Structure 1
Amino acid sequence: MTGYTDVSMYGATPMALPLLLGGVVFWVYLVYRWALPRPIAGIPYNKDAGNSILGDVPAMVSHVSRTKQIFTWLAAQNVKLNSPVVQVFCRPLGKPWVVITDFRESQDILMRRTKEFDRSDFFIDIFSGLLPDHHIWLKTNDTFKAHRRLLQDLMTPAFLHQVAAPHVYSAAMDLVKLWEEKLRLTKEHPFSAAVDIYHAALDSVWGFTFGTESGVSTTKAQLQLVSSLQALDLPADVSKPANVPSGPNPPAFDAVLTLTESLEVTVRSPLPRLHHWFLRQLPYMRRAKACKDNMIADELAKAESRLTHGAAADQGVRCALDDVLRREFLAAQKEGRPPMYNTRTIYDELFGFILGGHETTSTTITWALKLLADSQEVQKKLRSTLRAALGTPAVGNRNPCIQEITNTQIPYLDAVIEEIARCSLTASGNARCAMTDAEILGHRIPKGTDVFLMGNGPSIFSAPFEIDEELRSEGGRAAKGRIGSWDPEDMGLFNPERWLTSDEGGKEIFDATAGPHLTFGLGPRGCFGRRLAYLQLRLILVLIVWNFQLQKVPDELGGYDAVDKVTHQPQQCYVRLEKAE
């Protein structure tokens, strides 16, 4: 019996190994096939990506490593595949993304199809780690609406002009004074302006978020340092940049900058939620978060003290934090409960307000410097238009005040700001998630699919795709012509005149519907801070152009990072200034 067992075992071994290996290969093949991307039927995609477990990730990562941009790569796929609707595979084992580069279809989805398309899961992946209780990534539900009620007064004309504007104006004037000192020191040399703009924007949003009692201003500190300098060691070649010393930032500012940069990393990652989780475990991120939370806790305590001394009766609101706590106080009274001030919701909404109020504004202003320096005729016309419209400060040889800047209708200024917003592409795309099976331009979009609506490609910066009107939704067809379209010959150029028209009397007017752009999104989930952004751009831009002539800098200091004419982000921000006449 023993011998029989031995013979069977050893005799079967040569047959068992091939069967075993064959089984392993078979299962590996099945797993491989299961892990391949699953394309949505009928929508174009990169064929090589469809045959790889990693999909489009290697191509996307290669592009992002060169350009630091993900949305430019997305829009480039529509151009490459010659279709207004394409799909890309950017999440291993995940559903494909659908990318749309047609303004009218994007407008229809954002404004009229809000029940079919809601906030994208992409935003959940990006923001939930840093802002776990902020409305930006929430679906449109009762929780989202409750969060927005806390903030609803912050975009009213009263708050913007009475609370926010003085802080923005003060920060802009500090920037002007700083640059006057840098102009004295650098003479005709260019110098880096990106950090100055970034700090001025952060100073302003810090002020109207927490009030003057916070006492934090990096621009003032930098001005004090630069004013103490008598001269710099300048390069002999005037085209070479001057190196201007800079001082340290307050710890709270550094914490905000560190946390902001973590979002910039994860937005470019194929696995952003996991990537950000690993970042949050690092000691420097833990320190930054603790510093940020401690700072907000201190400001909350001050605001609560102000509230108990009269602000509850609509008195004494001097900053966003005061208004948010007043809102919570009134809501608690109405609901018959104690107010809850020290909550994660308030912490995250305040921090989100700071992020949104400085990051996008500073990026757009750096774009403005670049565009105006490269477009001397536009800059010259803007300055002469400002001096004509604001005659009293021009004659008095002084800077215009807040009311003069904000209350005077200046169509050309509005046109320049709108064109800067269009060309800056601070937000190059909007993302939505299909909440049900839907149809876009004749293509079935399965429930749960993330849809990216691009603002940096065809129909906005290059000739639109030809699309059969019958493929559009009924609402999309009915809305034809409500927003103008751009001439394909110059739609990729910086040209503020495109936003100007004339009324029946021949008077020049600004027309916000002259043509498309999606920088601030559209519809109920469009940019909450849009009005604030326009106010910041108006005040800062007027004071810069009023005081300085922005001269063109050498190409190596002011070039554009361009990939197939799709990328629209300046590589760096250097300025060369002269005093405005």
Structure 2
Amino acid sequence: MSSSNPVNHLHDIILTPTAMTTAALFTGAIVVLIYLLYQCSLPKPIPGIPHNQTSLDSPLGDFPKMLQYMHEMGNSLCFCFSSHVQKHNSPITQILIRPFTRPMVLLADFRFLHRVAGPAIDVNASRLIELWKVKSGMAAGSPFSANVDVYQAALDAVFGFAFGKDFPHSATRPKLELLKGLDAESVERIRRKGEKGDDEPIEFSGAETDEVITATLDLAIMLGTGPSLLSPAIDIPEDLRRETSQLAKKEGKGRAWDPEDIGVFKPERWLVSAPKGHREQSGFEVEFDAAAGPQLSFSLGTRGYFGKRLAYLELRILITLIVWNFELLPCPKELSSYNSTLGITNKPNQCYVRLRKVDHTL
């Protein structure tokens, strides 16, 4: 009986031509498969639409650059898209967002895009005013954050006109009751100034929120950004547009904002010269025109926000009550940024107010 060395036997198997050929074919197949998967994962831009050429060599496409932009600029995805459009100076661009998917096409030209609630809103807006009167008294001239207060007051208003103005659940009422119940020592702690004195924002403790309210905390207006809205429109030859778009402009429907101050907060841009008959009847030289220029606060077309009029009613009541009851003083520059974060809506990163109560007895 002869014995054999297992090591030599294994060595013979490995070195046989058949084994070597099989291993080579298997390795080659794996390499080819990896290469094909890599090629399939690379962005596939739509021909004829501007895009970042340098993003074609990575399966992640534009994604790393987008993250870097948002980190460095402190802005939301909306502003990242706007920057992309402005970079290519084109009304239609594409973003290569992730592997194995089609590009995201960005359209940035406005002309391409084809009495029950009142009392409830008033009750909840008035509650916000009462809360801010208490807060402004405690703040004694210092700014404080208004973001959550406005957000929750809007939510209360929605519940109010949906379920009646006597709806028992509220996000604002617990905070108001908490502050009104503070003793003198607690109020004094709130009023303590930091190193910045009156410019130091006051922090108010939050109250435990009603569970019904906690379940619904995403309500605001979706703001449009980008060319035609917050930056000058991209110049497009009229002969490249559809006949309906050209006709709309000839009929005076293709309006645009003045590019010189398009990014400035300027409410009077919606005031236009009133027709002669209206001037004689009202006595005003100008009138409000909701279509004075392009805007996408409520989107457009069949997917446009159907609650637009309700939202405007809420805004009118809330802003009127705020301006009627408070003088809005300037906040420190470091609390006055226009940077934002994209959630369900485009939310400001900083939303502070410095209030002085208006004395209506004078």
TM-score normalised by length of structure 1? 0.53
User: How big is the shift at 1:19?
Assistant: 3.4
Paired position in structure 2 for 1:232: 188
Paired position in structure 1 for 2:48: 42
**Which of the residues 159, 162, 181 maps onto 1:206?**
159
Q: Which letter maps to 2:229?
A: I
**Which of the residues 19, 25, 32 maps onto 1:26?**
32
SS in structure 1 opposite 2:227? coil
Paired position in structure 2 for 1:360: 220
SS in structure 1 opposite 2:76? coil
User: How big is the shift at 1:535?
Assistant: 0.3
User: How big is the shift at 1:98?
Assistant: 1.0
Paired position in structure 1 for 2:230: 461
**Which of the residues 212, 236, 239 maps onto 1:470?**
239
Per-residue CA deviation, residues 102-144 of structure 1 (Å, 9 max, x unaligned), is 11123xxxx2xxxxxxxxxxxxxxxxxxxxxxxxxxxxxxxxx
**Which of the residues 495, 498, 505 maps onto 2:266?**
495
Q: Which letter maps to 1:530?
A: K
Per-residue CA deviation, residues 500-554 of structure 1 (Å, 9 max, x unaligned), is 1222246321122221111112223211110011000000000000000111111
Paired position in structure 2 for 1:555: 333
Contact 1:558 / 1:570 at 8 angstroms: preserved in 2? no
Closer/same/farther in 2, CA of residues 527 and 569 from structure 1, 3 Å limit = same
User: How big is the shift at 1:18?
Assistant: 3.4
Closer/same/farther in 2, CA of residues 30 and 228 from structure 1, 3 Å limit = same
Contact 2:340 / 2:349 at 8 angstroms: preserved in 1? no
Q: Following the alignment from structure 2 to structure 1, what is the Cα–Cα distance between the partners of residues 201 and 273?
A: 43
**Which of the residues 78, 83, 90 maps onto 2:85?**
78
SS in structure 2 opposite 1:174? helix
User: How big is the shift at 1:7?
Assistant: 7.9
1:190 aligned onto 2:197: no
Q: Which letter maps to 1:240?
A: E
Paired position in structure 2 for 1:178: 131
Q: After the TM superposition, which residues 140-179 of structure 1 pair with which residues of structure 2 at under 5 Å, given as runs? A: 161=115, 163-179=116-132
Paired position in structure 2 for 1:537: 315
Q: Following the alignment from structure 1 to structure 2, what is the Cα–Cα distance between the partners of residues 188 and 461?
A: 32
Per-residue CA deviation, residues 241-289 of structure 1 (Å, 9 max, x unaligned), is 12222211011212223xx4xxxxxxxxxxxxxxxxxxxxxxxxxxxxx
Q: Following the alignment from structure 1 to structure 2, what is the Cα–Cα distance between the partners of residues 62 and 551?
A: 35
User: How big is the shift at 1:490?
Assistant: 0.7
Q: Following the alignment from structure 1 to structure 2, what is the Cα–Cα distance between the partners of residues 492 and 555?
A: 18
Q: Following the alignment from structure 1 to structure 2, what is the Cα–Cα distance between the partners of residues 478 and 223?
A: 55
- Identical counterparts, % of pairs: 40
SS in structure 2 opposite 1:206? helix
Per-residue CA deviation, residues 341-377 of structure 1 (Å, 9 max, x unaligned), is xxxxxxxxxxxxxxxxxx115xxxxxxxxxxxxxxxx
Closer/same/farther in 2, CA of residues 246 and 91 from structure 1, 3 Å limit = same
SS in structure 1 opposite 2:213? helix
User: How big is the shift at 1:46?
Assistant: 0.9
Contact 2:95 / 2:104 at 8 angstroms: preserved in 1? yes
Contact 2:339 / 2:350 at 8 angstroms: preserved in 1? no
Paired position in structure 1 for 2:62: 56
Closer/same/farther in 2, CA of residues 14 and 485 from structure 1, 3 Å limit = same
Q: Following the alignment from structure 1 to structure 2, what is the Cα–Cα distance between the partners of residues 245 and 530?
A: 33
TM-score normalised by length of structure 2? 0.83
Paired position in structure 2 for 1:520: 298
SS in structure 1 opposite 2:175? helix
1:104 aligned onto 2:111: yes
SS in structure 2 opposite 1:575? strand
Contact 2:271 / 2:286 at 8 angstroms: preserved in 1? yes
Unaligned runs of 5+ in 1: 112-160, 261-358, 362-425, 429-455
Higher-RCO chain (CA-CA 8 Å, sequence separation at least 6): 1
Paired position in structure 1 for 2:6: none
User: How big is the shift at 1:8?
Assistant: 10
Contact 2:120 / 2:160 at 8 angstroms: preserved in 1? yes
SS in structure 2 opposite 1:360? coil
Q: After the TM superposition, which residues 422-437 of structure 1 pair with which residues of structure 2 at under 5 Å, given as runs? A: 426-428=222-224
Unaligned runs of 5+ in 2: 1-8
Q: Following the alignment from structure 1 to structure 2, what is the Cα–Cα distance between the partners of residues 8 and 215?
A: 80
SS in structure 1 opposite 2:302? coil
User: How big is the shift at 1:176?
Assistant: 1.0
User: How big is the shift at 1:86?
Assistant: 0.8
Higher helix share: 1
SS in structure 2 opposite 1:458? coil
**Which of the residues 230, 245, 250 maps onto 2:210?**
250
**Which of the residues 456, 471, 479 maps onto 2:248?**
479
Contact 1:63 / 1:69 at 8 angstroms: preserved in 2? no
